[in-house]
Amino acid sequence: MSLSIINQEEHDFLQGCEVIVVIGLPATGKTFTADWIQEVPCRGHSLYSSDDYIDFGYEESLYVMIRTMEADPNPRKIVEGVQGFRFLRKNVSTKAFKVDCIVITECSPETRAKRYAARDKGNIPVGFDRNLETVFKDYLAKMAASGQELPRIITVRT
């Protein structure tokens, strides 16, 4: 897998970011992208994968991840995973972290289906996708209503 559509200006921008959130639908390359960002333009960032907290349950996992992030003295952080959608929405009200950039991962439906099937999870749950899209739309609406500045959004195809 390789990243495309990350130009030099975006690369340079990411280097200056403190908090980056990598989101995307399941099997679109979020983990790959976050690892790449941490290794290439953003060495020194702490990486938080929301999948690492799933054992705490759907609701609690987000809060455990946020508490762990708050305890980390490193101000430079990358959050990745499907919980990133909920992290963004929750952060509008808590203002715990100033998110500088949202990186959205995308890939073709065929590639996504192959990746998902390779994980032995069956078919992609369409309702789950709609839920994530709803959470992101809710985040954007809350940001607009709050008057907070929307972070820069970079879309990458994996």
Total structural domains within the chain: 1
| Closest to 96 in 3D by CA, of 70, 62, 127 | 70
pLDDT value of position 120: 77
| φ/ψ (deg, to 5) at 104 | -105, 125
> How far is CA 78 from its chain centroid?
8
In a domain, 107, yes or no: yes
What pLDDT, in 10s, does the model give residues 103-140?
999 999 999 988 888 887 777 777 889 999 999 999 99
**Structural domain boundaries enclosing 13:** 8-157
In a domain, 1, yes or no: no
pLDDT value of position 1: 54
Q: Give the angle subtended at the CA of 34 by the CAs of 31 and 35, to the nearest 5°.
A: 85
The three-state secondary structure class of 155 is strand
What is the average pLDDT value for the chain, to the nearest integer? 92
Report if pTM > 0.85: yes
